[in-house]
Amino acid sequence: MDTPASRSPLTRRQLVDAYFIENRTRLLEVAAFLDRLDRADDPELARDFRMDALHEALDVLRGEWPNRVKTMQMVFSDPTTEPLEALDRKSAQGAFDKSKLEAR
Amino acid sequence: MPYIDLHAHMVSRSTDDYVQMAMTGCVAVTEPAFWAGWDRSSADGFEDYFRQLTEFEPNRAAQYGIQHYAWLCLNPKEGEDRNLARDVLARIPKFLDRPTVLGIGEIGMNRVTRNEIATFRDHVELALEHNQLIHIHTPHLEDKYKGTRTTIETLLKYDKIDPARVMIDHAEEHTLDMILDNGFWTGVTLYPQTKVSPQRAVDMIEMYGPERICVASACDWGPSVPVAIPQFALEMRRRKHSEALIHRVIYENPVAFLSQCPKFQLTRPVPSLAGAAGGR
């Protein structure tokens, strides 16, 4: 499906006026989360696959992608096609562990 | 403004939630069978649950002027247990003639295992055998893309599947187009954390148009908002979208999909807001 250009009835100026503050808040929350991790006494967390994905997603945020949210969704997604042989756990974790690809 | 919440797990909600939904314009909910947060120990537990969905819950909703309909299945979170699935599926047909049962759902996959796919296929075949509408759950978070793709590939292997009678729910930005491209209906779930915010849902309507897209709260026992659809409508107004377009997404679209089951009859139907509710 071709994705048409956004049909936002609001102008860029109107969007910034209406939504800047709440998105500024969201960015500060992410920054505070990263600072909180730095203050935690657990160096092993630096290698957590979820945090690797989060840093990769932050790169997408700053990039010139045509569709940032879709690109970011794929950063977090399992790209494989083969079904699992058996249930390994009940719940999703928020990001795909890419070390599993390297292990194959 | 009247709306229909096509996906609401009201057995997990209080009567206060029915009150809030009624006061904000909810005229009907449809409730898919789902995971209780823990695995049931037998098919008897499911049978009791199906009775709750088709006997108790419609009466509870009616006290607040809300029509309640249900979908029946063994949900994807329990689909790995093939023996339990067979036992539960054998008990579903006797409930299908009940006046508020719309079809089979929410079926699908959780972690996309071979057993889950087999259980999903069993449900699809049951629906086809009994000419039922189908409501499909797609997996959470990192499993959504793979699960949605596998779901569509599985469905397309059935010649008898009519995509117009299938709702593939919980679409997000990276799965919406593959669902619509194949002719299915889709739902966007308005969750505070793990799915889509009202802002992103409105973005998707702006980018893809309203054709075959519904929104729902999917309120359940986890973090969720039973009045998420009015929040979506508020966001649409904040973006200066027309009342006609809002009405189409939150009322006319669910009516169009659900009315394919003749049992879905609104007691107080709302006329269309003619005008600027066009597609893409």
Residue A3: list chain B partners with CB under 8 A.
177, 207-208
Task: Please give the model's pTM, rounded to 2 decimal places.
Answer: 0.94
The alpha helices in chain B, defined as continuous H runs, are 15-23, 43-51, 57-62, 82-91, 114-129, 144-155, 176-181, 198-208, 228-238, 243-247, 253-258
- Count CB-CB contacts under 10 A for residue B159: 6
Using the predicted structure, report yes or no on whether residue B59 has a pLDDT greater than 90.
yes
Using the predicted structure, report yes or no on whether residue B165 has a pLDDT greater than 80.
yes
Using the predicted structure, report yes or no on whether residue B275 has a pLDDT greater than 60.
no
pLDDT at position A44: 65
Using the predicted structure, report yes or no on whether residue B112 has a pLDDT greater than 90.
yes
pLDDT at position A45: 62
Tell me the shortest Cα–Cα distance from B182 to chain A, in angstroms: 9
Residue B241: list chain A partners with CB under 8 A.
9
* Higher per-residue pLDDT: B216 or B277: B216
**Which tens digits make up the pLDDT trace of B129-161?**
999 999 999 999 999 999 999 999 999 999 999
A vs B, Cβ pairs < 8 A, gives: 95
Contacts 24+ apart (CB under 8 A), A50-58: A50/A93, A50/A94, A50/A95, A52/A95, A52/A98, A53/A94, A53/A95, A53/A96, A53/A98, A54/A95, A58/A30
CA dihedral over B142, B146, B149, B154, signed as positive or negative: negative
pLDDT at position A103: 66
Q: Please provide the DSSP assignment of B50-67 as one string.
A: HHIIIIIHHHHHHTTT-E
Triad B33, B35, B37: Cα angle to 5°: 145
Interchain contact, A87 vs B116, CB within 8 Å: yes
What integer best gives the mean pLDDT of chain B? 96
**Which tens digits make up the pLDDT trace of B246-255?**
999 999 999 9
User: What would the mean pLDDT of B69-90 be, rounded to a whole number?
Assistant: 97
Q: Which of B144, B180, B206 sits opposite A7 (nearest CB)?
A: B206
Q: Which of A3, A10, A77 sits opposite B240 (nearest CB)?
A: A10
Distance of CA B191 to the CA centre of its chain: 14
Interchain contact, B207 vs A7, CB within 8 Å: yes
Regions of chain A where pLDDT drops below 50: 1-5
Confidence of residue B279 (pLDDT cuts 50, 70, 90): very low
CA nearest to B39 within chain A: A90
Using the predicted structure, report yes or no on whether residue B280 has a pLDDT greater than 50.
no
The alpha helices in A40-78, defined as continuous H runs, are 49-62, 68-76
Residue B206: list chain A partners with CB under 8 A.
6-8
Best CA proximity match to B234, nearest among B276, B201, B189, B193: B201
Using the predicted structure, report yes or no on whether residue B277 has a pLDDT greater than 70.
no
| Secondary structure percentages of chain B, helix, strand, coil, to 5 | 45, 15, 40
Tell me the shortest Cα–Cα distance from A77 to chain B, in angstroms: 4
pLDDT at position B242: 95
Residue A1: list chain B partners with CB under 8 A.
177, 180-181, 208
**Are B55 and B15 contacting, i.e. CB atoms less than 8 angstroms apart?**
no
Q: Nearest 5°: phi and psi at A13?
A: -60, -45
For testing contact with chain A, the best of B77, B113, B146, B221 (most A CBs within 10 A): B146
For testing contact with chain B, the best of A2, A3, A74, A93 (most B CBs within 10 A): A3
- Going across the sheet that includes B166-168, the strands are B3-5, B26-32, B67-72, B101-108, B133-137, B166-168, B185-189, B213-216
If you count them, how many residues does chain B have? 280
Interchain contact, A78 vs B203, CB within 8 Å: no
User: What would the mean pLDDT of B232-236 be, rounded to a whole number?
Assistant: 98
Provide the phi-psi class of B170: left if phi over 0, else alpha when psi is between -120 and 50, else beta.
left
pLDDT at position A6: 58
